[in-house]
Structure 1
Amino acid sequence: MSSATETLCGQAFGARQYHMLGIYLQRSWIIDLITATILLPILIFATSIFRLLGEEEAIAKEAGPISLWFIPIVYYFVFSLTIQNYLQAQLKNMVIGCLYAASFVLHLLLSWIFVIKLNLGVLGAMGAMIIASWTTVIGAFVYIFGGWCPNTWKGFTTAAFSDLLPVIKLSLSSGVMLCLELWYNAVLVLLAGYLKNAEIAISAFSICVRVSNELGRGDAKAAKFSIKVALATSICIGVFFWILCLVFGNKIAYLFTSNEEIAEAVSSLSVLLAFSILLNSVQPVLSGVAVGAGRQTVVAYVNVISYYVIGVPIGALLGYVGDWEVTGLWIGMTCGIVVQTLVLCYITWRTDWDEEVNKASKRLNKLFLKTLEESNESPTQD
């Protein structure tokens, strides 16, 4: 839902309505905080939910305690994602880079202390992630509230509670669009839990999904500034990691596990993983273009058809009926991504950008609020 902040802040900054960025940020905080709170029962009752879904008891029991540790992460996302979009709209990418670089170093240090030295296991790893993650938010608060965004942050205002409905609609469209994409991977991981040797299947599939998404993901946020540059950059990055996965595919799993059986399962998927990385270097940029143009609803429909009408059925068919197991699920996922990428390419190519500019202008004018200075300067009428 935070991608709505990206759309509104990016377009407001381009229209020189600088003071609106801070108001949009606060509106997103209100909407996302309420949404995150509504979602808490899913994390609190994770074990019961997995049991209802028929997952193995060992997996269901393990998910319960870990899911509770994700509650601080959910609230971290409320602030980190919205602030990231707010700062990126102002081209303050270096600030974001420094904050996350510092968080990364702290994360490594805390993980080493909690997991290796104190032998706290998974809970130590979660604690390290929570502390490191929230340092980025605290650092961002210091930067924003400390006066380094004078044009876009005018302080907290009750104006943030006005005109929430249009922002809610755009946030919901954004949420549906991106959740359909995120849930696609999650559904396939869930399906892996019903295969033979479920724990091995889930571990191998989760590692591949993580590697594919993270290595293949280009700078999607830059798409609204320059589609060609973003695509070229992301494709170059994708090709680089595509080659790495083809060459070192049998070694990648050891970055995440020491289990030989899991590593072997990941190795068997290395070729599919390599091509998924290549696809994921293009797809996020095209999604970023849609977000920048405020076309989340259109992409939501594309995601439903690509992922759930095509990808999941093919994966389930090959995985269960064809007895290809994890390989079949992964082929289904890849088919969905291919279809989505091709459709988004066509939509981007056919887009009338002059018309999109007019739509953005109309949206901004509806949500525009005058600054206090502008209000005082307006002539009074008898």
Structure 2
Amino acid sequence: MICLELWYESILVLMTGYMENAEVALNALSICSFNISVWEIMISLGFLAATGVRVANELGAGNAKATKFSIVVATAMSTVIGFVVILIFLCFRRSIVYLFTTSDVVADAVLDLTPLLVLNLFLYSIQPVLLGAAVGAGWQNLVAYVNIASYYIVGIPLGVILGYLNGYGVKGIWMGMNFGILIQTMVLLFITWKIDWDRGNFENTSFRID
């Protein structure tokens, strides 16, 4: 699943390389997606691993209430940290951008992407926790299908349409990327919310824990 996400972002960066003024656009997107955003993702991946282990343990013990509580707490903590990261970036965004470039043109391009970067940071404060819950519950196949549909069937084509056909450039490509992440997050949130944790089929999880 992590590979699907990394390939997704890599494809979008590759698409940016074929745009007009590609050097500035590529530098700006790389700073946003592979530098600033990754700072938060490293924290979120920790929540992904912790949530997956906790959910698997609680389901293996047959404790549905603790499972739901663990997911809520992990999601809340990760979201709060995400908001802190967003606030830090908004307060010091110009100084942070110049950590990665000395070009005023590139810096202005990154600052122009600030709304999309903030949305990206917010989504990545929630999505990994839901992924961790899904992995802990043994839904790896389902999550893989959701990833493929959200990223490769929705996100990339939408990025091409907005970036190339509608003329939004790098903004359009990242809009498509964020929309794919948003779709995935909403689907995982819906599944996590609607599943009956007390009566769900988690035999595979119980087997692994035993």
Q: TM-score range by the shorter chain?
A: 0.7 to 0.9
Code of the aligned partner of 1:361: S
2: CA distance, partners of 1:240 / 1:350: 29
Deviation, structure 1 residue 363: 4.7
Provide Cα deviations, 1:81-110, integer angstroms capped at 9, x if missing partner: xxxxxxxxxxxxxxxxxxxxxxxxxxxxxx
Deviation, structure 1 residue 356: 4.6
CA contact under 8 A between 1:245 and 1:252: conserved in structure 2? yes
Give 1:33's aligned residue: none
Provide Cα deviations, 1:259-309, integer angstroms capped at 9, x if missing partner: 222211111101210121011100011111112222111011111111111
Equivalent of residue 340 in structure 1, options 184, 188, 195: 184
Give 2:206's aligned residue: 361
CA RMSD for the aligned pairs? 1.8
Code of the aligned partner of 1:220: L
2: CA distance, partners of 1:364 / 1:244: 40
Give 1:186's aligned residue: 10
Deviation, structure 1 residue 209: 0.6
Determine whether 1:296 maps to 2:140: yes
Give 2:196's aligned residue: 352
> Where in structure 2 are the equivalents of 1:97-108 lying within 5 Å?
none
- CA change 1:352–1:359 in 2 (3 A) is farther
SS in 2 for 1:294: coil
SS in 2 for 1:282: helix
2: CA distance, partners of 1:324 / 1:251: 26
With structure 2 as the length reference, what TM-score do the two structures score?
Answer: 0.83
2: CA distance, partners of 1:262 / 1:188: 18
Code of the aligned partner of 2:29: F
RCO (CA 8 Å, sep 6+): is it higher in 1 or 2?
2
2: CA distance, partners of 1:285 / 1:255: 29
1: CA distance, partners of 2:7 / 2:172: 18
> Where in structure 2 are the equivalents of 1:11-50 lying within 5 Å?
none
Stretch of structure 1 that moved more, 211-220 or 277-286: 211-220
Give 1:208's aligned residue: 32
Give 1:369's aligned residue: none
Deviation, structure 1 residue 353: 3.1
Equivalent of residue 50 in structure 2, options 194, 198, 222: 222
Unaligned runs of 5+ in 1: 1-176, 366-382
Determine whether 1:327 maps to 2:171: yes
Provide Cα deviations, 1:316-345, integer angstroms capped at 9, x if missing partner: 111111111111111111111111100000
CA contact under 8 A between 2:138 and 2:202: conserved in structure 1? no
Unaligned runs of 5+ in 2: 55-69
Identity %: 47
> Where in structure 2 are the equivalents of 1:1-382 lying within 5 Å?
177-210=1-34, 211-216=36-41, 217-218=43-44, 219-224=47-52, 225=54, 226-354=70-198, 355-363=200-208
With structure 1 as the length reference, what TM-score do the two structures score?
Answer: 0.47
Q: How many residues align?
A: 189
CA contact under 8 A between 1:243 and 1:274: conserved in structure 2? no
CA contact under 8 A between 2:136 and 2:205: conserved in structure 1? no
CA contact under 8 A between 1:251 and 1:267: conserved in structure 2? no
SS in 2 for 1:323: coil
2: CA distance, partners of 1:221 / 1:227: 12
Deviation, structure 1 residue 213: 3.3
Give 1:144's aligned residue: none
Deviation, structure 1 residue 243: 2.0
1: CA distance, partners of 2:176 / 2:93: 20
Code of the aligned partner of 1:310: V
CA contact under 8 A between 1:193 and 1:202: conserved in structure 2? yes
Provide Cα deviations, 1:49-91, integer angstroms capped at 9, x if missing partner: xxxxxxxxxxxxxxxxxxxxxxxxxxxxxxxxxxxxxxxxxxx
SS in 1 for 2:167: coil
Provide Cα deviations, 1:191-221, integer angstroms capped at 9, x if missing partner: 0110112222221111111212332542222
Code of the aligned partner of 2:48: A
